[in-house]
Amino acid sequence: EHDGTFGFCIEIIRTYLLMGVTVAIQTIFLYQVYLVNQQSASVQYKCGDTDYLLLCVCVFTFEAAVWAMIRDAVSFCWLLIRAPVRDLSDSRRTLVQYATGAQVSNGRARNGGAILDSNAPRRRNVFHRLIRGSGSVGHEPWTLEGITKRYKIWSFITLALPQLALTSFLSFAGGDFIANSDDKEDLIMNTVGVLFINEVGDILYQAFTSDVLKEDMANAKGVEVEVSNKLRWSLWLTSVFYPFSIAVYSFGIVFLLPMLKCSDTPLFFI
């Protein structure tokens, strides 16, 4: 309604294309990392001498960064689950509401679109508002309030699950890739390289998203959730054992994983 059909369709195509390219690039990188891990030369090096101190530092640093992304993906899943759902009758739905689930607030549609704010008086299409439109009536922050159940499921499948799957696989394949490094120089460079895979999404977002849309995303209204003492206690326990869990996982990547193919790999760093 506010952006016009043309502007809305272009933005939807651009958004899903950007997400698809991001997933495709990360998948290609991860597949190549997996192939490198399966090479015979890499397997043989696992059984050789290794600077375990530097290796542990690199793997732990990498896993801490990837686990942070996994935690963000889980938080996004929880956000979608907790987001309030609102059913709109077919007579009130527009093209935007069908595609996005209709952002509403307090029983009314949000005063603005994905690109433009609402103007008064209304113009016929997006080009009139861009060229001849009057000042904005008032900017309202983006919100998840009022999305439909169908759109929530669609977002969960297309956004949350792929990110969770990719980061989970990256935590294993990337750690194994670092452990296959030939020397100290390769160890540091490989750590930086697999961390780059973790940042592909942010790089493309920063490169191909306008500053205005970035600001709208940053200022989007959050989902209010009542935090009970039980939830506070569980979150505190998670924060306490979270570093320990990363350390144990890194230990498995560095020492236990090579034991699957090497019989003389030391169990402890001396």
Question: Quick check: 28 and 171 in contact, CB under 8 A?
Answer: no
Helix (H), strand (E) at residue 108: strand 108-109
Higher confidence at residue 79 or residue 138? Answer: 79
Instruction: Between 99 and 208, name the one with better pLDDT.
Output: 208
Burial of 79 (0-12, 13-18, 19+ CB in 10 A): middle
Contact 144, 94 (CB under 8 A): no
- Please, which residues have CB within 8 angstroms of residue 136's CB and are 6 or more apart in sequence? 112, 117, 118, 119
What pTM value is reported for the model?
A: 0.74
Is-contact 156 78, C-beta < 8 A?
Answer: no
In this prediction, residue 20 carries a pLDDT of 92
Please give the DSSP secondary-structure letter assigned to residue 122: P
Domains held by the chain: number: 1
The model's confidence at residue 174, banded by pLDDT at 50, 70 and 90, is very high
pLDDT in tens, 234-263: 888 888 888 899 999 999 988 887 777 665
Q: How far apart are CA 74 and CA 84, in angstroms?
A: 18
Residues 39 and 176 sit within 8 Å (Cβ to Cβ): no
In a domain, 131, yes or no: no
Residue 37 inside a domain? The answer is: yes
Find the mean pLDDT for residues 74-101: 64
Q: Alpha helix (H) ranges present in the chain?
A: 4-38, 40-46, 52-82, 95-100, 126-131, 149-155, 161-179, 184-198, 200-208, 211-218, 229-251
Region of poorest pLDDT, from 12-21, 123-132, 210-219: 123-132
pLDDT in tens, 118-171: 654 444 454 444 444 444 445 677 777 777 888 888 888 998 899 999 999 999
- Asked if 163 contacts 75 with a C-beta cutoff of 8 angstroms, the reply is no
Residue 258 lies in a domain: yes
- Indicate if the alpha-carbon torsion angle 81, 83, 87, 93 is positive or negative: negative
Minimum mean pLDDT range among 24-38, 101-115, 213-227: 101-115
In a domain, 113, yes or no: no
Residue 222 lies in a domain: yes
CB 146 within 8 A of CB 107: no
Please state, in angstroms and rounded to a whole number, the distance separating the CA atoms of residues 187 and 184.
5
What residues contact residue 65 under an 8 Å CB cut-off, 6+ apart?
195, 198
Kindly state whether residue 99 falls inside one of the protein's structural domains. Answer: no
Top pLDDT among 244 and 111 is at: 244
Read off the pLDDT of each residue in 16-41 and give the average, rounded to a whole number.
88
Give residue 148's domain range.
4-86+140-264
> Token pair 């750690």 is at which residue?
175
- CA distance linking residue 39 with residue 126, whole number of Å: 55
d(CA 234, CA 229) in angstroms, rounded, equals 9
Q: What is the CA radius of gyration of the chain?
A: 24
Whether residue 76 is contained in a domain is answered as yes
Pairwise CA distance, residues 238 & 78, whole Å: 16
**221 part of a folded domain:** yes
